[in-house]
Amino acid sequence: MADQQVDVIVIGAGPGGYHAAIRLGQLGKSVVCIDRDEAGGVCLNWGCIPTKALLHVGEVTRQINHAGALGLKVAGLDFDREAIAKFKTSVVNANVSGVKTLFKANNVTFAYGQGSFKGAKEIELQGKDGSKTTYAAKEAIVIATGSAPIDVKAWPHDGKFIINSDDAVKLERIPKNLLVIGCGVIGLEFATVYNRLGAKVLVIEALPQILTGTDIEISKTLQRILTKQNVEIMLNTKVSDVVKEGERVKATFSGDSTKGKPETREFDMVLVAVGRRPVADGLNLEAAGLKTDERGFIAVDPQLRTSVPGIFAIGDVTGAPLLAHRAMKQGVVAAEVISGDRSAAFDPVAVPNCVYTDPEVATVGLSEEEAKAAGHEVRIGKFPLAASGRARTMNETDGLIKLVGDAKSDLLLGMHIVSPQAESLIGEGVIALEMGATLEDIGLSIHPHPTLTESIMDAAEAAHGKAIHIVNPKPRPTPPTPAGAAH
């Protein structure tokens, strides 16, 4: 018999879990939200929030280093690692405290410990002190256990010399030489952080481009900028061995960058950033009659229902894209479905993705390559930041705005940005896609001047050869009409 009974149990207090729990509380449900770590999950404690705090430190560092171009003389820049870590921790604590306050305000009980299924309606919570409490759900259980870094067994993770992203955010030391294995979002963000803090950084990727799956022109633009910032990048290159020797780590790799010959270098630290895996360990899903796919993900329908009635799943544990804002929206949808809203569903036109390098990359919708592969005749509009008056006033002219449209309907298919504040600018693309806007709609909309957002308008106008602030590309010649064809 259960020790406690509530309407809904939420397992996981990350972005998806706490959104689901709070929305359920707003809708009058009694809720217990369980997490074996801290409220806020990976995002608030080891992911989105702390990395962005560190990236902001790096951005300020770069601005100080380039202050001379603005007529400012700044001398004696120094890094206080402990003070930087303290700033990061204060940001994390403020956000975690905010979530706990919202839990209390919405009658959500937060419980520490490992939750595991005893059946389709019961969860056993094992507390950190070894105590066990059984919760029964009258209405539903929501699985929101997120994801964790993939550790490569051949390269034993020790948290100090061979590290993952959870270790990297702790900033326990700043290496002189850092190897980052993986040119995805996580790898490039930490390459930016540690490069700004004085480390010499090498990033190695087995595939032919950074940010695999991103629009190729955008990927190449960011690679060029990062290379200018002294981040060394090797593509089509594989790491074959990583071995710790004393206070150093030796890594052997080969590929295009080494002309096919094995090369060995020594590093103070190696960050393995080869992806993330869903976290379902310890849940005892079998007791609830649930199964995962071969990669460990839980299948759900648009209302976030699993194959077992009354059990929902949201966020990273349900598959790609592994993004906090996707999990947040799924959490709200699941809460509303549980509360009886039959119209609620997770069915976005597109989900934005942001990479917090410096400058940032933000994308939403189809890349040029994806649009062509889907059969669209594309119309491209581009605007370089070098032509932006606002970017010049910021001394930030490296970047590009790129719009992908359908040549026949003029509908926007995708928006891709390399720019300062790209993560905020991309919101315009999300709204435009959701509302079915055309490139003409974006170009006709009056944008404030001088701003970075007007570069989106300029890119839309460039797609039609109407841009004012750049030389418009010459229109493609119209193919001649075949003889005898109808006019």
Catalytic residues: 449
Spell out where 85-218 has E strands.
Answer: 108-112, 114-119, 122-126, 132-143, 147-149, 162-163, 177-181, 200-204
Please name the amino acid found at residue 288.
A
The residues near 383 (Cβ < 8 Å, ≥ 6 apart) are 400, 401, 455, 456, 458, 459, 462, 467, 469, 470
β-bridge pairing 114-119 and 378-384: unpaired
The residues near 249 (Cβ < 8 Å, ≥ 6 apart) are 161, 162, 179, 242, 243, 266, 267, 268, 269, 270
Please name the amino acid found at residue 71.
G
Chain centroid offset of residue 222 CA: 16
Query: Token pair 């592994």 is at which residue?
Result: 322
The residues near 352 (Cβ < 8 Å, ≥ 6 apart) are 325, 362, 363, 364, 426, 427, 429, 430
Token digits of residue 397:
């002219």
Contact 113, 39 (CB under 8 A): no
- DSSP of 62-85, one letter per residue? HHHHTGGGGT---------HHHHH
- If residue 57 lies in a helix (H) or strand (E), which one and from where to where? helix 48-65
Token digits of residue 306:
């699993």
Q: How many CB atoms lie within 10 A of CB 393?
A: 10
Token digits of residue 280:
């379902």
Q: What are phi and psi of 266, to 5 degrees?
A: -105, 145
What DSSP state is assigned to residue 446?
Answer: P
Contact 259, 230 (CB under 8 A): no
Query: Token pair 């294995």 is at which residue?
Result: 181
Cα 11 to Cα 42, 109, 117, 289, 303, distances in angstroms: 14, 12, 10, 17, 18
